Every structure is written in C-alpha cells, then in structure tokens.
C-alpha cells in the first residue's frame, strides 16, 4: 500500500457505494490512490473510474489502467468534467475523502504542518496565488478572527488575531515556525490541539474548502444516475455538518425543501443514519483516522 496516504474507512466506504462491475465511478480525492485502486479492482472491462486531484504530485500514484482517467482539477468542477467526458447523469457512484493527504502533511515544503519551520504555503493547488502567508500578513484583525473562529473554532480568536497583527508589524510572518511562535503566546488548553485548529482554519480558508464541498455535493446530484450513491469521509464538524444537512434536506441550512404546494422535495435517501467511524484497530494503525466520519446517500429515483 502506498505511503502517500493510508486510505481511511476503506472497506465501509467502498462497500457503501454498492459497486456494479460495469458501472461508472468517480473518486474526487485521488491522493495516493488507495480508495481508487479498490474501486478499480471491483470493475470489469466495461466499468470506468474517473479520479480527481488538484495536486499535480498525485499523478505519480497513477497506475497503468485503460479504464482509469485522471483529471488534474478541483472537484468543485465535477459537473463540467463529467459533461466533457459525456457521462453526466450516468455516474453510478462518487467517493470523496476530504482533508489533506499524509503526503501533503509530511512534506515540509507544503507548509501544512507546524512541526516544521517552512514557508507558510498550504496550497493544495500549487498554481493558485493565495497562500497562508498572504492571509496571515494581509488580512485585517476582523478577517483573521473570523477565519480562526469559523474554520478552526479557536476560542480566543480575537486575541490570536491581535497578536498576529502586533508580530507582523515588526516583520512579516512567513514561516510555519514563526506563526507557531506567535500562537504559543495565546495557547489555551493543549498546544497541539490549539495549533492544529489554527492551521486547519488557515488551510480551509486558503483552499476555499467549504465552498468546494458545497459545489461538489450539488454537482453530485446532477451527475449521478437515479439510485447512484455518494460516499463522503469528513474530518471535522464543519464538513460533517454540511454533508449531513445536504443529505437530509437537499440544502445546507438543514431546512426541508418544499415545492409550491408544500410537498417536500426528496433528493436523497440517507443510507447511513449515523456516520460510520473507524474502529479501534484502524485508529491504532492509522491515528489520523480518529476524527473521520463516513456518510452515504443515494439519489432518489423519481421515475
């Protein structure tokens, strides 16, 4: 198995897609290819797998297979690409393993981890211009507080924002180590948890992860065939809440969607009434799986 990224909840997520050997499937978070390989192993010559990854490094993990197509793109563009390949509305299943791959975390040059002192980057797509350093050094106090509070649930986000402004007034904060040093002055509770929340918040902001997730979920309903399934593995409450609400109500507010006559619009049948989480053995072998939650839904057949 590739060390690029250990696939989380591999069995439950793939089993949950109820794969047909001749079906069309999409892994929108290819990464190390762990989930993708398992899907491909269940397909015959008539089946096809499309895989997405906006990180060009992931291309090195592609294996030679005629029925696998790699798309270097953000999964928010799922609809456009499925139309391009002529399969929109014909897809049998979609898998999304959200978050950052182990490879990205462990590569110091990518700036995702506070364990190193490297440039503040955090871009999943190296072609985009906005970096974590840009946010830390250019956002005002209110903007920083909003990012830390909303995406990291940092309890003293205002204090942290003020310390960052004070520090950058002397010289720019350009590395992960410099940012961690500033944050150390504000730590509440466990240092590791606090820094993880801070770095998570910045990563989500840089990559517009919430916007991309919303676009993906709406696209999933468009490109899936009736009774096609989507499986989403999330790693923090913000993601999980969006997925749960969308599967339940067809929107991100969680309010029932009704037509002009007050009849509820049923877009999805929720397969997992409660999220599936890694068992103790998986958490022991792969500690990064501890916060994972898997939700699966099936597109309602209105025919």
Give pLDDT tens digits for 122-142: 988 778 889 999 999 999 999
Helix (H, G, I), strand (E, B) or coil at 53: coil
Is 283 strand, coil or helix?
A: helix
Q: Of 38-42, 49-53, 106-110, 282-286, which range is least confident?
A: 106-110
Q: What is the mean pLDDT of residues 145-171?
A: 97
Q: What is the pLDDT of residue 129?
A: 87
pLDDT tier, 255 (very low <50, low <70, confident <90, very high otherwise): confident
Query: 108-207 has which fold?
Result: DNA polymerase; domain 1 (1.10.150)
Question: Is pLDDT at 68 greater than 90 in this prediction?
Answer: yes
pLDDT band, very low/low/confident/very high, at 217 (cuts 50, 70, 90): very high
Residue 109 has pLDDT above 70, yes or no: no
For the cut 70, the answer to whether the pLDDT of residue 70 exceeds it is yes
pLDDT at 261: 67
Query: Band of the pLDDT at 108, cuts 50, 70, 90?
Result: low
Alpha helix (H) residue ranges in the chain: 10-16, 34-41, 78-84, 102-106, 132-138, 141-152, 157-170, 176-183, 191-207, 209-223, 237-249, 280-285
Report residue 2's pLDDT band, with 50, 70 and 90 as the boundaries: very low
Q: What is the pTM of this model?
A: 0.88
Which DSSP string corresponds to 118-165? -B----SSTT----HHHHHHHS-HHHHHHHHHHHH--TTHHHHHHHHH
- Residues 145-154 have a mean pLDDT of 96
- The answer, yes or no, to whether residue 228 has pLDDT greater than 70, is yes
User: Cα separations (Å) of 232 from 86, 199, 262, 271?
Assistant: 24, 22, 30, 12
Q: Is the pLDDT of residue 90 over 50?
A: yes
pLDDT at residue 194, rounded to an integer: 95
Domain boundaries, the chain: 10-102+209-299, 108-207
Strand partners, 296: 231
Does residue 281 carry a pLDDT above 70? Answer: yes
d(Cα 267, Cα 249) in Å, to the nearest integer?
8
pLDDT at 213 over 80: yes
**CATH number for the domain formed by residue range(s) 10-102+209-299:** 3.40.50.150
Where residue 3 falls among pLDDT bands split at 50, 70, 90?
very low
Strand order in the sheet with 91-97: 68-71, 48-52, 24-27, 91-97, 224-234, 293-299, 268-270
Q: Is the pLDDT of residue 215 over 50?
A: yes
- At 114 the pLDDT is 79
Contacts of 52 (CB under 8 A, 6+ apart): 26, 27, 28, 29, 30, 71, 73, 74, 75, 78, 81
Q: Give yes or no for residue 1 having a pLDDT over 60.
A: no
The pLDDT tens digits for 7-55 are 999 999 999 999 999 999 999 999 889 999 999 999 999 999 999 998 8
């Amino acid at each position: 198995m590739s060390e690029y990224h250990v696939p989380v909840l591999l069995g439950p997520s793939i089993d949950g897609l109820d794969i047909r050997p001749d079906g069309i499937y999409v892994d929108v978070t290819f990464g190390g290819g762990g989930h993708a390989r398992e899907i491909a192993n269940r397909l015959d010559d008539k089946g096809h797998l499309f895989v997405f990854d906006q990180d060009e490094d992931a291309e090195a993990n592609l294996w030679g297979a005629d029925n696998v197509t790699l798309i270097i793109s953000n999964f928010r563009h799922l609809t456009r690409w499925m139309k391009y390949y002529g399969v929109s509305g014909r897809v049998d299943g979609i898998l999304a393993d959200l978050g950052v791959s182990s490879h990205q975390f462990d590569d110091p040059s990518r700036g995702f981890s506070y364990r190193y002192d490297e440039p503040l980057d955090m871009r999943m797509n190296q072609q985009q211009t906005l970096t974590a350093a840009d946010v830390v050094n250019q956002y005002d106090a209110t903007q920083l507080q909003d990012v830390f509070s909303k995406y990291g649930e940092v309890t003293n986000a205002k204090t942290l924002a003020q310390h960052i402004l004070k520090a950058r007034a002397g010289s720019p904060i350009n590395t992960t180590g410099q940012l961690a040093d500033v944050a150390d002055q504000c730590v509440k509770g466990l240092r590791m948890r606090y820094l993880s929340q801070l770095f998570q918040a910045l990563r989500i902001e840089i990559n517009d992860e919430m916007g991309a997730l919303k676009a993906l979920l709406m696209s999933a309903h468009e490109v899936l065939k009736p009774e096609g399934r989507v499986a989403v593995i999330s790693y923090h409450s913000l993601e999980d809440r969006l997925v749960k609400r969308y599967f339940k109500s067809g929107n991100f507010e969680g309010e029932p969607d009704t037509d002009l006559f007050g009849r509820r619009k049923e877009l999805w049948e929720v397969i997992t009434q409660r999220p599936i989480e890694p068992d103790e053995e998986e958490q022991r072998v792969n500690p990064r799986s501890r916060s994972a939650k898997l939700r699966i839904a099936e597109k309602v057949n209105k025919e």
